[in-house]
Amino acid sequence: MAMLKITDLEVSYGMIQAIRGINFEVEQGEVIALIGANGAGKTTILHTVTGLLKCKAGKIEFEGKDITKLPGHKIVSLGMAHVPEGRRVFADLSVLENLKLGAYTRTDKQEIEDTLKVIYKRFPRLEERKSQMAGTLSGGEQQMLAMGRALMSHPKIILMDEPSMGLSPIFVSEIFDIIKEISASGTTVLVVEQNAKKALSIADRAYVLETGNIVLEGAAKDLLENDSVKKAYLGE
């Protein structure tokens, strides 16, 4: 049984059909990349899976449970976390307050403190800046904070939307190293990313999206060698 299974998903914005009956699945422990041009529907898929958007048709199953009509906060408590595009940290709250908000579905104070220690170990910069306002962090640090905040809910799967967007090359490499670490520690990852080369280099499998349709899927290493992928997304 796949951890996350999407069947015949259709999503519309008014008259515009953004997602056209797509099917894909994510197995436990995998890193899956969704790649495609701007406007292909990648973010729409993540928003629909995490309950921020309602679908017109189709089914979303998480660990065998139908979550298609569940509200977002209930989906989080099942073990799914979302790192949104543009980071969306709470600028007027401190780093620590942002992190603690990520744990709002959890009740055991000691477990929350233990998770916080793990987050600080993975992101030492966040510990150094824990009392700083999140809005004063650099873009890369805000991305780390958004990832740390999502991990505070102790998710089984983490969905990341454009984690490398607007970051300097050095931060991009660092963020992708962290994604590999998150995966190695047992969390399943679904990543939407414009930097197709980076995404395919860390993913197990990938799906290529064009105008709301999945046009290619397969092992990430095969897609890296695929001529049409190279031409369209890898600048070769």
Q: What is the pLDDT of residues 110-127, one digit of tens each?
A: 888 888 998 998 888 899
Contact at 8 Å (CB) between 83 and 161?
yes
Q: Which residue has the tokens 């309950």?
A: 51
Which pLDDT band, with edges at 50, 70 and 90, does 14 fall under? confident
- The reply to whether 165 falls in a domain is yes
HEC-encoded secondary structure of 114-168:
HHHHHHHHHCHHHHHCCCCEHHHCCHHHHHHHHHHHHHCCCCCEEEEECCCCCCC
- The reply to whether 13 falls in a domain is no
pLDDT of residue 157: 96
Question: Could you read off the pLDDT of 124-178 as tens digits, one per residue?
Answer: 889 998 998 988 988 888 988 999 999 998 899 999 999 888 888 888 888 899 8
Query: Which pTM was predicted?
Result: 0.90
Which residue range(s) make up the domain with 180?
30-53+70-233
Closest CA to 27 of 56, 50, 53, 61: 61
- The reply to whether 143 falls in a domain is yes
Radius of gyration over every alpha carbon of the chain, rounded to an integer in angstroms: 17
Q: Which residue has the tokens 């958004």?
A: 146
170: exposed, middle or buried (Cβ count in 10 Å: 0-12, 13-18, 19+): exposed
The DSSP output letter for 94 is B
Query: What average pLDDT does the chain have?
Result: 90
pLDDT of residue 201: 92
- The reply to whether 8 falls in a domain is no
pLDDT at 235 over 70: no
Give the number of domains in the chain: 1
CA-CA distance, 203 to 189, in Å (whole number)? 9
Put the strands of the sheet holding 16-26 in their side by side order.
16-26, 4-13, 57-62, 65-66
- The reply to whether 174 falls in a domain is yes
Which pLDDT band, with edges at 50, 70 and 90, does 26 fall under? very high
* H or E element, residue 76: helix 72-78
pLDDT at 75 over 80: yes
Mean pLDDT on 68-79: 90
Closest CA to 95 of 122, 58, 132: 132
- The reply to whether 9 falls in a domain is no
Cβ atoms < 10 Å from Cβ of 192: 25
CATH code: domain of residue 215: 3.40.50.300
Mean pLDDT on 8-30: 92
- The reply to whether 87 falls in a domain is yes
Phi, psi of 125 (to 5 degrees): -60, -30
- The reply to whether 6 falls in a domain is no
- Select the more confidently predicted residue: 9 or 236: 9
Question: Could you read off the pLDDT of 171-228 as tens digits, one per residue?
Answer: 888 889 989 988 998 999 999 988 899 999 999 999 999 989 999 999 999 999 988 8
Could you tell me the sign of the dihedral formed by the alpha carbons of 104, 107, 113, 118, in that order? negative
Contact at 8 Å (CB) between 49 and 9?
no
